[in-house]
Amino acid sequence: MTPYAPSEIEAKWQAAWDKAETFKATRSDDKPKYYVLEMFPYPSGRIHIGHVRNYTMGDVIARYKLATGHNVLHPMGFDAFGMPAENAAMQTGIHPKDYTYQNIDDMVAQMKPLGLGIDWSRMFATCDPEYYGQQQSLFIDMLDAGMIDRKNATVNWDPVDMTVLANEQVIDGKGWRSGAEVERKDLTQWFFKISDYADELLEALDSLDNWPAKVKLMQANWIGKSRGLQFAFSLVKGIGAHNSVEVYTTRPDTLMGASFVGISPDHPLAKELEQNNADLAAFNAKCRKGGTTAEALEKAEKMGFDTGLCVHHPFDTLWELPIYVANFVMMDYGTGAIFGCPAHDQRDFDFAKKYGLPIIPTFLPSEDSEAELTEAFVPTKTDMVHWVAPFAWSPNTNGTDAINKAIDFCEANGVGMGVTKFRLRDWGLSRQRYWGAPIPVVHCNSCGVVPEKKENLPIELPYDVSFEIPGNPLDRHPTWRNTLCPACGKAALRETDTMDTFVDSSWYFARFTAPHTKTPTEAADAAYWMNVDQYIGGVEHAILHLLYSRFFARAMHKTSHLPESAIEPFNALFTQGMVTHAIFKTETTDGRPIYHYPEEVDLRDGGGFLKDGTQVAIIPSAKMSKSKNNVVDPVAIINQYGADTARWFVLSDSPPERDVEWTASGAEATFKHLSRVHRIACDIVENTDAANQQDEPLLRDMHKAIFEVTQGVESFGFNASIAKLYGFTNTIAKSKAGGDAKRIAIKILAQLMSPITPHLAEDIWNMLGEKKLIANAPWPIAIETMMIEDTITLPIQINGKRRSEITVPKEMSKEDVEKVALTDEAVIKALEGGQPKKLIVVPGRIINVVI
């Protein structure tokens, strides 16, 4: 018997697949197509065990679909632009391009030994000029189609380094390098007009039947459609050109509870007032400090500044409300002005308390509720409440009805209009950075902003740049900016902003259908391969990447680069969990943490110990992080146990949508199991026992295994499939069946394992004398009649607690089951001669005797 030697068999079968071009995708009409895609990686240089899990899931699907008669497309590429390459350039002096391509080479070298069934001939990186040149072409088409805009955007500004900062580079409101307090600054930027598609992107979510409900919900909330009232408060005393303040509210029904008007520090009125009011100017400047993230803005201390101005309440001209500039009012949502209703909004309530403003309830939980509030009363809009200040509806009405009535009433009385607004903002794509796709436009003194001619694409990044000074090296490049205007031919300057890396990842899936063609896509290939039938990736992309991709597919359809059938590019989505690992920590005498590598720690007696006997603290299931020394290197695992062990383990222990914790003992156990399967297969090849009555239970479990493993693969229950594979392996090992039956069983086991552990499966298949590849063998089919057992065991509950069980023929009628149940010893004892109050028999499930 030859021992299980993964390093030999894995290399052997990978070579066989390469030679046979098993995974090369070619258009053909004789089989249904299936496109499976995992979210492509950023080329960090090292593959992570999380990548192994992500790609193994996709590979299981790809290989299973191949076995079930599909023409499979399973490609791989790299999301290669972005900040880490520039950071590396700043830290080590290596050029972003060299850094990135070296990392890609390294990662491919680490991925190939995993034995993934990928069509490597389609590989590309988003930093290939061949790719981003087509992206520039798409940009020009979208500009022509009116889908792109130029307008102001707020960015994080580092006043010391004089540079724009990414949110990630703002730490506690300070620049990561300079440590200076970050300010918000307006810049003119390019925008994709995704908000034009807000309603459509929202409505179409309903059609995505095979997307997780949570992702659809998150996208719906992000788009944030709301109906409200937009109206003007007239100023008691006008100032400059301002006679009124336009506000938008989703709760017009609470208008009688208004106690102040809040305007954004960036509101035109606030900007006008600050001209002649140094205190307000200082207040506004203070509000503009800090980062641009929603979190920073929301968590900032609520501050207000009384402008001294007042407005009339729309229903009572004698009622005057003060205007405050308030830092929690956002200029880019609604109109940049609100009315505050402290009784029914906690933020307004806190504001009113702080500045001594009245708190006027418009409704209460019920008629006899206390009208003095200690916190804002904010029921859900469907709750019935008792109104004390309604203006067009009955005293007991829910929020939704009251809002609709309020809008109708206001419209009828000439106070504003009901309007629908979206939270979704346009997508700002300009980045003041080098390592991205240049935005293909030219700034001409006579013609203004002009798109580059398509024949001049790609606009390639210059190689000779330096990163010693903060800021965008394209800005200070001596010659790259200089060009000729595509319209008038005179000297002009190139745009130096590059595109957001989300643009790169918003259409790569379409490019995979024809990765080397001279247009963004090839119509016939796109029509054949789109959509992605199964997309797999992390839930962290639930909103931005997936929403942008949905928008881009629509844009590419509008510009004739995708068929209409591809406007929702991902038919099914699966969001997988992370691979985590324990952190082993000790502390220095002054309390600073020291993190230890797993190989330094000996696990015994329920604890972890260093070589010198020091006990370490174990923090379980932590996200892998280089700084915590808890990263598992897949290359080391493959060298030690082989790719099949790594593939099996990452799928075995947790459901795919949840995190899985990598443990050394778990990996070792997997290796032992695969060795066992190999050993059992070797034994069976030599087994010549005659057929006997033990064949039947073995074959019955085999059909159950086919059924359960298939169901697991079809429903992303890979851990359930693996649990059954363990069980079936045990059945085979213990079975006394004849040689022929055992050979059939082990052959089926190999097939069922083949998507997960393809190398071992090929080897067993070969051992059994098969001449073709298992990768091309048709998937086995479970025969239902072969799975049926004759009897069934039913638990008996007494008052809902399990007390006994009976075994009855499978087909026994409900009445007969009741009779048998009443003869059960435990039931007789519990009844004490009486009759049960109720007897519940759920056929095939359970019996409950209520006494």
Partner RNA sequence: GCCGGUGUGGCGGAAUGGUAGACGCAGGGGAUUCAAAAUCCCCCGAUGGUGACAUCGUGCCGGUUCGAGUCCGGCCACCGGUACCA
Give, as ranges, the residues between 647 and 676 that touch RNA (CB under 7 A): 652-655, 658-661, 663, 665-666, 668-669, 672-673, 675-676
Cβ neighbours, 10 Å, residue 392: 16
- Sketch the per residue contact string, 69 through 108, with RNA: x for CB under 7 A, - otherwise: ----------x-xxxx------------------------
Question: Rounded distance, CA 308 to CA 35, Å?
Answer: 63
- Under the criterion CB under 7 A, does residue 187 sit at the interface with RNA? yes
Of the two residues 12 and 803, which places its CB atom closer to RNA in the complex? 803
- Map residue 803 onto helix, strand or coil: strand
Question: Rounded distance, CA 171 to CA 187, Å?
Answer: 22
Question: Rounded distance, CA 672 to CA 663, Å?
Answer: 14
CB of 436 to RNA, least distance (A): 8
Question: Rounded distance, CA 77 to CA 493, Å?
Answer: 33
CB of 166 to RNA, least distance (A): 4
CB of 622 to RNA, least distance (A): 8
Residue 315 has what DSSP assignment? T
Nearest to 427 by CA among 147, 81, 42, 41: 147
Site for RNA in 579-608 (CB under 7 A): 604, 606
- Under the criterion CB under 7 A, does residue 617 sit at the interface with RNA? no
- Under the criterion CB under 7 A, does residue 211 sit at the interface with RNA? no
- Map residue 8 onto helix, strand or coil: helix
Of the two residues 110 and 848, which places its CB atom closer to RNA in the complex? 848
Q: Which residues contact 519 (CB under 8 A, 6 or more apart)?
A: 134, 137, 561
Query: How many amino acids of this chain bind RNA (CB under 7 A)?
Result: 96
Question: Rounded distance, CA 107 to CA 114, Å?
Answer: 11
Nearest to 365 by CA among 348, 385, 394: 385
Site for RNA in 222-251 (CB under 7 A): 222, 224
What pairing do the DSSP bridges indicate for beta strands 33-38 and 71-73?
Answer: parallel
Say what the alpha-carbon torsion angle 713, 716, 722, 723 is, to the nearest 10 degrees.
-120
Of the two residues 155 and 287, which places its CB atom closer to RNA in the complex? 155
Nearest to 812 by CA among 786, 791, 826, 796: 791
Give yes or no for a contact between 536 and 60, defined as CB atoms under 8 angstroms apart.
no
- Under the criterion CB under 7 A, does residue 136 sit at the interface with RNA? no
- Under the criterion CB under 7 A, does residue 805 sit at the interface with RNA? yes
Site for RNA in 372-431 (CB under 7 A): 423-425, 427-428, 430-431
Give yes or no for a contact between 54 and 18, defined as CB atoms under 8 angstroms apart.
no
Site for RNA in 6-45 (CB under 7 A): 42
Question: Rounded distance, CA 777 to CA 830, Å?
Answer: 58
- Under the criterion CB under 7 A, does residue 683 sit at the interface with RNA? no
Using CB under 7 A, pick the residue from 67, 118, 329, 722 that binds RNA: 722
Of the two residues 312 and 679, which places its CB atom closer to RNA in the complex? 679
- Under the criterion CB under 7 A, does residue 797 sit at the interface with RNA? yes
CB of 211 to RNA, least distance (A): 12
Which residue stretch of 556-564, 760-768, 779-787, 791-799 sits at the interface with RNA (rule: CB under 7 A)?
791-799
CB of 119 to RNA, least distance (A): 22
CB of 765 to RNA, least distance (A): 22
Task: Scan for tokens 């035109």, then name that residue.
Answer: 268
Task: Scan for tokens 């240049």, then name that residue.
Answer: 438
CB of 572 to RNA, least distance (A): 18
Of the two residues 91 and 479, which places its CB atom closer to RNA in the complex? 91
Site for RNA in 43-62 (CB under 7 A): none
Question: Rounded distance, CA 790 to CA 807, Å?
Answer: 10
- Under the criterion CB under 7 A, does residue 808 sit at the interface with RNA? no
Q: Which residues contact 637 (CB under 8 A, 6 or more apart)?
A: 49, 645, 646, 667
Of the two residues 414 and 800, which places its CB atom closer to RNA in the complex? 800
- Sketch the per residue contact string, 299 through 328, with RNA: x for CB under 7 A, - otherwise: x-----------------------------
Using CB under 7 A, pick the residue from 8, 105, 144, 168 that binds RNA: 168
Site for RNA in 457-516 (CB under 7 A): 500-502, 505
CB of 505 to RNA, least distance (A): 7
Using CB under 7 A, pick the residue from 26, 91, 688, 793 that binds RNA: 793
Of the two residues 402 and 732, which places its CB atom closer to RNA in the complex? 732
Question: Rounded distance, CA 573 to CA 38, Å?
Answer: 10
Site for RNA in 283-302 (CB under 7 A): 292-295, 298-299
The H or E element that residue 784 is part of is: none
Question: Rounded distance, CA 110 to CA 638, Å?
Answer: 10
Say what the alpha-carbon torsion angle 743, 747, 749, 752 is, to the nearest 10 degrees.
-160
- Under the criterion CB under 7 A, does residue 432 sit at the interface with RNA? yes
- Under the criterion CB under 7 A, does residue 282 sit at the interface with RNA? no
Residue 624 has what DSSP assignment? P
Using CB under 7 A, pick the residue from 11, 282, 524, 850 that binds RNA: 850
Using CB under 7 A, pick the residue from 494, 541, 703, 747 that binds RNA: 541
Which residue stretch of 312-320, 453-461, 616-624, 748-756 sits at the interface with RNA (rule: CB under 7 A)?
616-624
Using CB under 7 A, pick the residue from 449, 493, 544, 831 that binds RNA: 544
Whether residue 87 is preceded by a cis peptide bond, meaning omega within 30 degrees of 0, is no
Q: Where are the alpha helices (DSSP H) in 259-398?
A: 268-274, 278-287, 294-299, 346-355
